[in-house]
Structure 1
């Protein structure tokens, strides 16, 4: 599956995303952006992620997801690595076992693969890996590679993990009875409430495999050469400035496919349903898009209350409902006759191309889990948000959306969900008195993103500075 392309003099970068769809997507877009700037790329997916993508797009397992990118002249080679589990192993149902494998088994496979790639391609000079990998420095040092950590979430989330020790010392994390007062001592963060910390920093049990991954990852990230973030300087200026006092940190987001159109590289782990024809029949800004992402799970009770709220709201909607949203062994959870009762104004699909859907003029709001990719994409499309965080960074992302940027509202804000509450908040988002204010705010945010990506905008400058600094570091390593 490897493709050895043309120019041997290009600086050559190895890239490996965390094997979850929300991480793979920005990694793919970054690979294309780097290749468009003259770098040769070798992109490494786990065999399971590769298998899921190729199966979703009706290819056999030998398909190279970057073949179209290479046809357009980009030097991107592609290969896969085993995560240590058989393809048929249910990683969602056996989450902790899978995470233990990423911690203890995957690094040995990566080590062997990187050794083989470096032996075949002596010009390989950089290693871009997800910040959540705990072994990046070990690999980079062993093969004399410039070590680049790619953070796919907001800088706020990064800095809270980075300062876990401060949270622990002050008793807001990992204590028998965590404090509930405002946190106002994290560098670059004016103030944050404990309920807005990531779910893992609110957890009572802090000895889980995910906690061990986070601890090790944020020890390891202190050793990297560069940190690049899928965020925008103007959105998180104080947080980023505080981090830059400790490390070379570059805000280069939002990292989207060129022209914000469907990517030439397949990244979806599920077959995508076509929604455009249905949307074409609906009035401008009349449709609520509902999606809870590719990874987190929700309770059956919450899904039923959301279904009830959608039913009584009488609003048009598209609901992306993964079969495993509750659990991969519980796939029947909607109220009886729900699909019959919403005919004509509701469309339920297992998965779709989100960029295609939310950029359609019929979409007027997004009921979201607050994944970071979804937030950035919504801002770009001027779509206000109804927030229902489920896991990890989503609670902190919600704070940015609702409290700081005022481009959305809470679905329930940690209170129990009821169908009536869902109905009420859908109406507030889509057509209430405050709706225009959220739309105005999101339009202002869109301008910030657009300006950042334009020539000499902050993200454009930061990206060019990062490339220059990386090339200098490559030369130094080669001379040394």
Structure 2
């Protein structure tokens, strides 16, 4: 009897920033060997947004890829947001329900796949699913964490939750300039640490349950024997030092994990029509400022007004993402006034777009970004320098990597109320796209990192070798 084919169950939390890199990894696993099978699974609410009106069993032209949702026992709230109404109790209850019901749902999915003659041989799960490894272990299936943030962030969490610097951070968390020493990393200021370690440790904080979920995830890795396997969406060339500081795990950098060819990963947002690409075709090379703050960040009227005014005053063409939910919060009339053609003389506003295609376009010369890790990697891979406006979670660390370590961007300063003012927008755009020697150096470094990343993910590159080794290693699981 021939052994079963390698079959990876890729599990992800139901947020766009998790779904995109997880689905991209699923397709990379398929490409690594012709006999690989993959089942991609997220919670039912997000699954229904990904596939609102079509069959969800197979992954397009490749029958080796299936999409199967897992039950989370509830409607799981809004898959676009991790916080209902700013109330700590409601999110804590929601996350507890998600953890318990999700574990049951994935256990049932594993059993159902085995009963169909398609047994899973390795579970791969993203962060915020600390129970996934336990469910796999109960059924004798090896697992691997897919870390979709930088290695530096994992190293910070690892050392924090293993007794290093937690007391120091707690004592000085209101002093953003205080410097913390973390093994294997350059000195970090409190203000540049992941926000969940400085803003969400108190049980009364709205996002405290995210802090505890990350803690549980880091602690669960210590239960894996002999060592936990951690795939990281980065490459050796970008984060050599941080990768070495990630602790006693089998760490495999396999990124940047990008879309295969022209095929973008499915998601829970609908793209605008492709007219924005036609508009880009009419613009000179490296002339356009692209602006997007991701799938979760909110934007009040004052911030949107300052942002658009700064872009207009920069005198450069721009493409700005203003999500549908942000426009809805403004109200129909006000949204029409703010992002209508009369206001946007030099630019175009879209509700969502194919970001990889935009960043890959020759006309784009600067990315004003919230510094979500997916956005950072997509920009690096495209050679587009960044103006960094970090907000929450890992984004402050990501901005530090872009500006300090890679020198491929500049850091924007917000005012005391957290607003990015028009003058600062103009300054950052000019420091990336202007004629100064410093701007030219930022652009040069962006080009250098683009070449380094292309080598890492190309045939025989460091990340490509690691992914093939992971797939080959999975064959020893059975």
Q: TM-score, normalised by structure 2?
A: 0.88
Cα deviation 1:344-372 (Å, max 9, x = unaligned): 52111100111111111111111001011
The residue that corresponds to 1:12 in the other structure is 7
Q: Secondary structure at the match of 2:121?
A: strand
Task: For 1:170 and 1:45, locate their aligned partners in 2 and report how far apart those are by CA, in whole Å.
Answer: 36
Counterpart residue number, 1:66: 59
Q: Is contact 1:273-1:350 (8 Å) kept?
A: no
Alignment of 1:187-336 (within 5 A): 187-203=183-199, 205-207=201-203, 208-224=208-224, 225-243=228-246, 246-259=248-261, 261-263=262-264, 265-274=265-274, 275-325=276-326, 329-331=329-331, 336=337
Supply the distance in 2 between the matched residues of 1:339 and 1:267 (Cα, whole angstroms).
26
RMSD: 2.6
1:329 positional shift = 4.4
Aligned partner of 2:450 in structure 1 is: 446
Partner of 1:3: none
Deviations 1:45-104 (A, max 9, x none): 22211221224xxxx15444612333xxxx112211233333885763616254343333
Alignment correspondent of 2:113:
117
Task: Give a deviation string over 1:386-441, Cα, whole Å, max 9, x none.
Answer: 11112111111000001111101112167543212222222222224122111100
- Structure-1 separation of matches of 2:378 and 2:311: 23
CA contact (8 A) 1:228 1:249 kept: yes
Question: Which stretch of structure 1 is more off in the superposition, 377-386 or 170-179?
Answer: 170-179
CA distance in 1, matches of 2:79, 2:142: 35
How far is 1:124 from its partner? 2.0
Question: Please, which of 61, 67, 82 is the counterpart of residue 71 of structure 2?
Answer: 82
Once the two structures are TM-superposed, the CA of residue 127 in structure 1 deviates from its matched residue by 0.7
Residue by residue over 1:209-235, the C-alpha shift from the partner in whole angstroms, topping out at 9 and shown as x without a partner, is 111211111111233431100100121
> 1:168·1:175 contact (CA, 8 Å) conserved in 2?
no
Question: What is the number of equivalent residue pairs in this alignment?
Answer: 455
Alignment gaps of 5+ in structure 2: 86-90
Q: Give the equivalent residue in structure 2 for 1:136.
A: 132
User: Comparing 275-284 with 457-466, which one deviates more in the overlay?
Assistant: 457-466
Alpha carbons of 1:343 and 1:413: their partners in 2 closer, same or farther (altered >3 Å)?
Answer: closer
SS in structure 2 of the partner of residue 283 of structure 1: coil
> Could you tell me which residue of structure 1 aligns to residue 465 of structure 2?
461
Out of 30, 40, 45, the residue aligned to residue 35 of structure 1 is: 30
After the TM superposition, which of the residue ranges 38-47 and 203-212 deviates more from structure 2? 203-212
Aligned residue in 1 for 2:170 = 173
Q: Structure 2: how far apart are the matches of 1:155 and 1:176?
A: 22
Is the 1:324–1:331 Cα contact (8 Å) retained in structure 2?
A: no
Question: CA–CA distance in 2 between the matches of 1:455 and 1:337?
Answer: 47
Structure 1: gaps (5+ residues): 1-6, 476-480
Structure 1 window deviating more from structure 2 (95-104 vs 224-233): it is 95-104
What is the TM-score when the length of structure 1 is the normalising length? 0.87
CA distance in 2 between counterparts of 1:235 and 1:88 reads 36
Residues 335 and 255 (structure 1), Cα distance of their counterparts in 2 relative to 1, 3 Å cut: same
The alpha-carbon deviation at position 107 of structure 1 amounts to 2.0
The alpha-carbon deviation at position 334 of structure 1 amounts to 5.5
Whether the aligned pair in 2 keeps the contact of 1:229 and 1:253 (CA below 8 Å) is yes
Secondary structure (helix, strand or coil) at the match of 1:236 reads: helix
Alpha-carbon spacing, 1:282–1:212, altered in 2? closer, same or farther (3 Å): same
C-alpha distance in 2, partners of 1:360/1:175? 44
